[in-house]
């Protein structure tokens, strides 16, 4: 082998000084050394790429990395998180930034609406083979949750479309003001390979007219929803799972919240700018009368938090601006 020959050519005999190699031998040795170094560099580069690169592409049925559960919960139980699922590892990720992923694609019949007029929003979820998906898993009492908000983080709506046998979802939708609105389809469904996968897909809806973005309200730990006062304790941080405790009062008296869609509360968090999406559910049990969520901030910046809760048989939404340093 070349390296053995090189060793033999350069190794001194016992008790003797090795004679210097001839010019031709020196050229051969330099060539062998260059080739060996190149091979080592390529092998090392491949190893580094495997260590720090994207890694293998997940199969169509692989679990969505942005759909996980907070500590101590099980699949389908209150408390799990969509979008910020990596929170258990201290590194949250947003979702809803695209109409498709490796498993599903969202196809909307029409994305143009007229201000203040109810129109049907119709769409299908298609799998990797472009077939309409009809197998959806009921999560928190619904097979699909549709979240809508204007790009200035106003006009929040939490809707539940109905699906026809051909996989077409329909919901009446009123977008009250001009501007660009973001709609998120949040679901778990059967992928092309027959496995179950979770996804949050987003699409922009346009309302022509005079668009005047509303300024984001300043950060505050309290909000008003109808005649209820809602306050939270806790401070979300980047790369750290933190508890948030929400309490509801009415005229200064504590209010007993009721289960809604299988949880004591639903928390939608949208990031200002790209409208990255996180959806968390309260823990199965109240903590001293408070709704308890676990949340990791995906990045520094400003967010709008929308808390859905039920009291006295009616559903209300409290809205908060959150600043994460």
User: pLDDT (tens digit, 9 = 90+) per residue, 46-87?
Assistant: 232 323 233 333 333 333 333 333 322 333 333 445 543 333
pLDDT at residue number 39: 32
Q: Does the pLDDT at position 191 exceed 50? A: yes
Based on the fold, state whether residues 165 and 239 are members of the same structural domain.
no
Based on the fold, state whether residues 244 and 173 are members of the same structural domain.
no
pTM exceeds 0.85, yes or no: no
Based on the fold, state whether residues 248 and 281 are members of the same structural domain.
yes
Based on the fold, state whether residues 97 and 203 are members of the same structural domain.
yes
Residue 288 near residue 129 (C-beta atoms within 8 A): no
Q: Which of 88, 76, 79 is nearest to 141 (CA)?
A: 76
Domain that holds residue 317: 222-324
Q: Does the pLDDT at position 102 exceed 60? A: yes
Q: Which of 186, 205, 153, 150 is nearest to 278 (CA)?
A: 186
Q: Does the pLDDT at position 148 exceed 90? A: yes
Q: Does the pLDDT at position 245 exceed 60? A: yes
Q: Does the pLDDT at position 208 exceed 80? A: yes
**Could you tell me which residue, 23 or 255, shows the higher pLDDT?**
255
pLDDT at residue number 86: 33
Last residue of a domain, one of 152, 181, 207: 207
Based on the fold, state whether residues 236 and 316 are members of the same structural domain.
yes
Output the average pLDDT for the chain: 80
277 inside domain: yes
With cut-offs at 50, 70 and 90, classify the pLDDT of residue 188: very high
Residue 199 near residue 62 (C-beta atoms within 8 A): no
Render pLDDT for 103-117 as a digit per residue (tens, 0 to 9).
Answer: 999 999 999 999 999
Based on the fold, state whether residues 201 and 275 are members of the same structural domain.
no
79 inside domain: no
73 inside domain: no
Among 31-35, 55-59, 94-98, 247-251, the minimum mean pLDDT is found in: 55-59
pLDDT at residue number 231: 98
**Could you tell me which residue, 27 or 187, shows the higher pLDDT?**
187
Residue 318: CATH number of its domain:
2.60.40.1930
The Cα angle at residue 182 between residues 195 and 276, in degrees rounded to 5: 65
Over range 252-275, report the average pLDDT.
97
Last residue of a domain, one of 207, 241, 260: 207
142 inside domain: yes
Query: Around 162, how many Cα atoms within 13 Å sit in the side-chain half-sphere?
Result: 3
Based on the fold, state whether residues 230 and 293 are members of the same structural domain.
yes
DSSP letter (8 states) at residue 160: -
Over range 139-167, report the average pLDDT.
98
- Measured CA to CA, the distance from residue 187 to residue 45 in angstroms comes to 39
**Could you tell me which residue, 69 or 208, shows the higher pLDDT?**
208
145 inside domain: yes
**Could you tell me which residue, 291 or 5, shows the higher pLDDT?**
291
Last residue of a domain, one of 164, 181, 207: 207
135 inside domain: yes
Based on the fold, state whether residues 50 and 141 are members of the same structural domain.
no
Residue 170 CB-density burial (10 A; 0-12 exposed, 13-18 middle, 19+ buried): middle
- Measured CA to CA, the distance from residue 59 to residue 222 in angstroms comes to 43
User: Which of 2-11, 47-56, 166-175 is predicted most confidently?
Assistant: 166-175
pLDDT at residue number 60: 30
319 inside domain: yes
pLDDT at residue number 193: 96
pLDDT at residue number 93: 80
Based on the fold, state whether residues 101 and 197 are members of the same structural domain.
yes
In total, how many domains does the chain have? 3
Q: Does the pLDDT at position 281 exceed 70? A: yes
82 inside domain: no
Based on the fold, state whether residues 226 and 277 are members of the same structural domain.
yes
- Measured CA to CA, the distance from residue 285 to residue 287 in angstroms comes to 6
Based on the fold, state whether residues 287 and 194 are members of the same structural domain.
no
Based on the fold, state whether residues 176 and 240 are members of the same structural domain.
no
């Amino acid at each position: 082998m070349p390296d053995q020959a090189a060793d033999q050519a350069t190794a001194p005999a016992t008790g003797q000084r090795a004679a210097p190699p001839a010019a031709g031998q020196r050229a051969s040795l330099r060539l062998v050394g260059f080739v060996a170094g190149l091979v080592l560099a390529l092998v090392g580069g491949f190893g580094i790429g495997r260590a720090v690169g994207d890694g293998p592409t997940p199969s169509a049925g692989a679990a969505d990395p942005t759909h996980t559960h907070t500590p101590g919960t099980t699949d389908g139980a209150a408390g799990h998180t969509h979008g910020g699922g990596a929170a258990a590892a201290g590194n949250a990720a947003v979702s809803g930034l695209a109409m498709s992923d490796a498993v599903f694609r969202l196809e909307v019949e029409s994305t143009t609406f007229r201000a203040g007029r109810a129109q049907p929003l119709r769409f299908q979820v298609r799998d990797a083979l472009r077939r309409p998906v009809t197998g959806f898993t009921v999560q928190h009492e619904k097979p699909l949750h549709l979240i809508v908000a204007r790009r200035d983080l106003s006009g929040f709506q939490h809707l539940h479309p109905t699906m026809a046998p051909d996989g077409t979802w329909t919901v009446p939708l009123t977008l009250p003001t001009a501007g660009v609105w973001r709609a998120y389809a949040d679901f778990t469904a059967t992928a092309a390979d027959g496995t179950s996968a979770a996804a949050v897909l987003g699409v922009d809806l346009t309302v022509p007219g005079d668009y005047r973005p509303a300024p984001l309200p300043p950060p505050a730990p309290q909000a008003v929803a109808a005649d209820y006062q809602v306050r939270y304790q806790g401070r979300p941080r980047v790369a750290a799972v933190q508890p948030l405790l929400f309490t509801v009062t009415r005229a200064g008296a504590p209010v007993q919240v009721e289960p809604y869609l299988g949880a004591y509360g639903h928390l939608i968090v949208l990031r200002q700018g790209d409208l990255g999406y996180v959806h968390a559910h309260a823990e199965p049990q109240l903590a001293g009368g408070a709704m308890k969520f676990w949340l990791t901030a995906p990045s520094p910046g400003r967010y709008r938090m929308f808390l859905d809760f039920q009291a006295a048989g009616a559903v209300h939404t409290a809205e908060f601006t959150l600043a994460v340093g």
